[in-house]
Amino acid sequence: MTKRIDFQTDPSQYRHWRVEYDGPIANLFMDVDEDGGLFDGYQLKLNSYDLGVDIELADVVQRMRFEHPEVKVVVMQSAKDKVFCAGANIRMLGGAAHSHKVNFCKFTNETRNTYEAALADSGQNYICAIKGACAGGGYELALACNHIMLTDDSTSSVSLPEVPLLAVLPGTGGLTRVTDKRKMRRDLADVFCSVEEGVKGKRAVQWRLVDEIFPNSKFDDAVKERASDLAARSTKIEAAKGIALAPLQREFSDDAVTYSTVEVTFDRAAGRTRVLIKGPDGEAPADMAAFEELGDQAWILRCARELDDALLHLRLNEMELGLVEFQTQGDGAAVVAHEALMLDNADHWLANEVLKYWKRVLKRVDLTSRSLVALVEHGSCFAGPLAELLWAVDRSYMMLDEFDGDNRPTAAIALSAGNFGTYPMGNDLTRLQTRFLGTPEAVDAAHERIGAALEGQDAEDLGLVTFAYDDIDWDDEVRLFIEERASFSPDAMTGMEANLRFAGPETMETRIFGRLTAWQNWIFQRPNAVGEDGALQRYGTGVRGKYNMERV
């Protein structure tokens, strides 16, 4: 799988999903083109999916938020007869590189979390209407919805058969949502995850796997009635129309990807990449009317979209670049001004969506399995949402005082009100709260400095950066860090960084990413799953996998 994976798409290119809009209700149909796989060598039968299917779903969910804010309820359903979704395509998983499988699982997790959070973030409620078999990743699609309805007939069921069939886990949040979200009893969950055929009818309701069942003759009407009822009770902010999300303007070359606000350059020999984010090129819009007129070309939204795409490109297409260096360039006060318009109008639907989008993009940074460093150089603009990068990375280095021959503005950090609650991590804490878990008074000290231009010594004293160096030590210290990072095992680094980034309380989200995907990562390499006689390789042959029975 060597071709470049593109995460940009639009409705004119969809092969696997379609949406019918009916005022406040959107009907989202999964209709996978079995010949539309992202790679050769498998067919996407029975509404099974690969990364390409999920890229489209992520685009649908994003456009629902920005282009169709009038939508209050989304009904996810299948356009196929007698099947909802067979889950992740087994042939794809069996033939994919380990790195692709793990990144695929991470992206599907992020996509499901996005529409699961759509009710709290945007007032858009997702219902799943299941007719036919709903298995594995198909049921995980359903679990991320807030209400699940199932047809009560002989062919419709829900199941998580990964353990008995494939020797892997329902790792896209399946196990966690069954226990934490659906609050299913552990012993019943043990039974459910051990049977290939799944659970149907009244038992599915009794075991809390679905919310309602209806006979086939009444199912469609019941779904419409439930959607209409939820839409009528919605407290979502009314919006007459949304804004269009145009294709991103990007240029790809052998050693760079260039956007309007983001520039990504590669040093493959050293195994590192630089992500340079450019601050606003003009003043903030005067008000939300002016912002809406700019639409997706407003800097704060354009930058979020471009950074999001750059992160995904690095994850899937540049997997040997183990160190990502974040740098910024521009006027920090301008960044704060653009963010302030959003914060001051947080009850406006579009301002709310922009802020929630930044929350999701910054979470994507947290979950990127690379060594991350921020270099706060003179002329930088780590302010407002860009300042969050300083606490998302593993280390940060800041220039201290003037540098000989450098006439750029002195390096400074600018905190805003947004840094104290607008962009929580997966643990439901801010990055500053997570950073100062043992010294919460340090968050209060930082809060008192909102609006100040914090230069190197102040930033280091406040704990906002790891180290601040003058021009005598800067080059050597940064070089030593980069060389050291390149000398360590990437496996050990990934494990260390993932453990250190999420201090504090455990949530359903951190369990999904931190615990389950870690085990899925390990299990996906075990011979019992992917060996020559493993379950993934033998699936469909009629012969069960041959297992090493050691418990370790």
User: Beta strand pairing status for 272-278 and 323-329?
Assistant: parallel
Alpha-carbon distance of 51 to 393, in angstroms, equals 27
Q: Is it true that 11-232 and 251-495 share their CATH fold?
A: yes
Instruction: Determine the residue type at 383.
Output: A
Give yes or no for residue 458 having a pLDDT over 80. yes
Regarding predicted confidence, which is higher, 502 or 394? 394
Residue 519's pLDDT band (boundaries 50, 70, 90)?
Answer: confident
Q: What is the pLDDT of residue 2?
A: 64
As a whole number of angstroms, the distance between CA 171 and CA 102 comes to 10
Helix then strand then coil, in percent of the chain rounded to 5, is 45, 15, 40
Who contacts 153 (Cβ-Cβ below 8 Å, separation ≥6)? 200, 215, 216
Express each pLDDT in 411-437 by its tens digit.
999 999 999 999 999 999 999 999 999
User: At 172, is the pLDDT very low, low, confident or very high (cuts 50, 70, 90)?
Assistant: confident
Where residue 550 falls (left for φ over 0; alpha for ψ -120 to 50; beta otherwise) is: beta
Give the mean pLDDT of 88-105.
Answer: 91
DSSP 542: T
How many residues does this entry show for the chain? 552
User: What whole-number distance in Å separates Cα of residue 505 and Cα of residue 503?
Assistant: 7
Q: Which one-letter amino acid corresponds to residue 302? A: R
CB of 47 within 8 A of CB of 80?
Answer: yes
Confidence at residue 37, expressed as pLDDT on a 0 to 100 scale: 96
Within 435-474, strands assigned E span 453-455, 467-469
Strand blocks (E) in 170-224 = 212-214
Q: Retrieve residue 536's tokens.
A: 């993934």
pLDDT tier for residue 240 given thresholds of 50, 70 and 90: confident
pTM for this prediction: 0.96
Interacting residues of 287 by C-beta distance below 8 A, sequence separation 6+: 341, 345
Mean pLDDT of 348-363: 98
CATH number of 251-495: 3.90.226.10
Q: What is the pLDDT of residues 215-230, one digit of tens each?
A: 999 999 999 999 999 9
Provide the CATH topology of domain 11-232: 2-enoyl-CoA Hydratase; Chain A, domain 1 (3.90.226)
- Write out pLDDT tens, residues 380-392: 999 999 999 999 9
Task: Identify the DSSP state of 429.
Answer: S
Mean pLDDT of all residues in 102-131: 96
The C-alpha atoms of residue 495 and residue 459 are separated, in whole angstroms, by: 29
Q: What is the pLDDT of residue 281?
A: 92
pLDDT at 282: 93
In the block, which residue shows the tokens 């539309």?
Answer: 36
Better-predicted residue by pLDDT, 337 or 551: 337
* 427 within 8 A of 352, measured Cβ to Cβ: no
Residue 243 has pLDDT above 80, yes or no: yes
> Could you read off the pLDDT of 393-409 as tens digits, one per residue?
999 999 999 999 999 99
Q: Over the chain, what is the mean pLDDT?
A: 95
Paired strand residues for 212: 149
AA identity, residue 402: E
Whether 1 shows a pLDDT value over 50: the answer reads no
How many whole angstroms separate alpha carbon 528 and alpha carbon 308? 36
What whole-number distance in Å separates Cα of residue 335 and Cα of residue 332?
Answer: 5
Nearest to 39 by CA among 77, 81, 79, 5: 5
Return the pLDDT at 211: 98
Residue 520 has pLDDT above 80, yes or no: no
**What percent of the chain clears pLDDT 70, i.e. is strictly above it?**
99
Break the chain into its structural domains and give their ranges: 11-232, 251-495
